[in-house]
Every structure is written in structure tokens, then in C-alpha cells.
């Protein structure tokens, strides 16, 4: 279901019963090429169906043949969701105010050392998440989701990964039951879990003893 900019349009502003065989329009909700009947209005709004149907009509935009990553980028930079409907942003995003993420090899702070676990922060490029993926400092992660400052969240995503740095080197078990999680196997389980979404992690976090006393 779509919404029009105005509830009522006079007859002289409606162009009904049009048909496209493809290559002209695409549905904005899923970016798929549209073939079939449509209608439009003199203000530029275009919808599926021969005439307005508040249940069936879907909003159309000019067709573009692009890779899927292109439309994902559009959704992140030029569209928002209002009342369960995708809408184009009214104003541009000022990309000049964003800072590029900086790759670091961070170390645990005093609190993390005391707790025996640290949080590691990684950014990935949204349209290349299994190619551009690296660790950043905690300070850069803190303003990640602020508009017009910090890391450009429209281009990059952030993932926080827990990392065990204290305890026994390996799992301690008794009668087959896990008593105390070990550093090596705990971190390996963490890598395996996050790698389901980001396979590149297995090529980055290859040392499960990292930041612990067993890392020699």
C-alpha cells in the first residue's frame, strides 16, 4: 500500500490507464522493474494500477538498471521510512562533515583488563562488507551514528565483537560439562558466530589468544 502526497486530485491532474512493457518504471519498495498498467499525476507522482487503489497501488520511480549494491546505497543515503513507506529525504546529507574511519590495533583498557573481556569495534563498507572490514578505536565508535559527524554511517556499518582476554587458555570441563570457558575456544566460538554474517572475519581474527597472557 502506498500514500499519495495529496488525498484528492482533480480530474485534470490525473492521467489514468497507462501501460508499460518495461524499461520505464520500477517499484520503489523493492526496486524491481514494473510491467503493467499504471497511472500518474501532473505533479510527477506515479503508481501502479489503472487508477488509484488505496490497497493495491504501489509507488513507481523511473527505471534504472543498476547493481543491487547501488539501490542499497540509495536507501542509506537518499531515502527514509515514514509510516511504513519509503520516502525520499528532503535535504541532502553533508558528507564533507564526516571523517574517514581509521584502522587501528586497539589494546584493552584498564576496565577491560579487570573484567577479562574487551569489546572490539570493526567497520565494514556496506556494499563491500566482505572485502573492506577493519578494526577501529573505541573513540571512533562512540559517535558513529551521529548525523554529519564521525564516521559516515551511510557508507559504513559498525559491528561490536566481544573478546575474551583472561581466564584459562582452554575450556575447563568436568564430566563432559563446561565449567570455565577458555580463552582460545571462547574466542573461536565468537569468530565462528560472527563469521556467519561476515566470512572475512576468519581471515582477520586468526589469533584467538590475542591480547591475553598466552599471546606469545
**What is the number of domains present in the chain?**
2
Structural domain includes residue 5: no
Residues 142 and 188 in one domain: yes
Of 65-69, 125-129, 193-197, highest mean pLDDT: 193-197
The per-residue pLDDT for 147 is 62
**How many angstroms separate the first and last alpha carbons of the chain?**
60
Structural domain includes residue 109: yes
End position of a domain, from candidates 67, 88, 109: 88
Domain region containing 84: 11-88
Structural domain includes residue 210: no
Helices (H) and strands (E) in the chain, counts: 5, 11
Residues 115 and 197 in one domain: yes
Residues 110 and 187 in one domain: yes
Q: Where are the alpha helices (DSSP H) in 21-180?
A: 68-78, 110-115, 138-141
The per-residue pLDDT for 150 is 80
The per-residue pLDDT for 89 is 66
More confident residue, 52 or 87: 52
Mean local confidence (pLDDT), 12-32: 90
Structural domain includes residue 211: no
Amino acid at each position: 500500500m502506498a500514500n499519495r502526497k495529496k488525498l484528492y486530485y482533480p480530474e485534470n491532474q490525473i492521467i489514468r490507464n497507462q501501460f508499460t512493457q518495461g524499461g520505464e518504471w520500477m517499484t520503489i519498495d523493492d526496486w524491481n522493474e514494473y510491467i503493467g498498467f499504471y497511472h500518474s499525476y501532473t505533479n510527477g507522482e506515479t503508481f501502479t494500477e489503472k487508477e488509484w487503489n488505496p490497497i493495491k497501488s504501489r509507488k513507481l520511480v523511473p527505471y534504472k538498471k543498476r547493481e543491487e549494491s547501488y539501490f542499497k546505497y540509495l536507501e542509506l543515503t537518499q531515502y527514509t521510512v515514514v509510516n511504513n513507506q519509503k520516502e525520499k529525504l528532503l535535504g541532502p546529507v553533508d558528507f564533507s562533515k564526516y571523517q574517514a574511519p581509521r584502522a587501528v590495533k586497539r589494546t584493552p583498557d584498564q576496565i577491560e583488563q579487570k573484567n577479562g573481556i574487551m569489546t572490539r569495534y570493526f567497520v565494514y563498507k556496506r556494499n563491500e562488507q566482505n572485502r573492506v572490514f577493519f578494526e577501529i578505536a573505541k573513540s571512533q565508535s562512540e559517535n558513529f551514528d551521529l548525523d554529519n559527524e564521525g564516521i559516515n554511517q551511510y557508507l559504513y556499518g559498525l559491528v561490536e565483537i566481544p573478546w575474551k582476554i583472561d581466564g584459562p587458555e582452554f575450556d575447563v570441563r568436568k564430566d563432559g560439562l563446561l565449567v570455565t570457558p577458555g580463552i582460545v575456544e571462547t574466542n573461536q566460538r565468537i569468530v565462528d558466530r560472527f563469521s556467519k554474517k561476515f566470512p572475512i572475519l576468519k581471515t582477520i581474527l586468526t589469533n584467538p589468544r590475542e591480547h591475553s597472557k598466552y599471546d606469545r
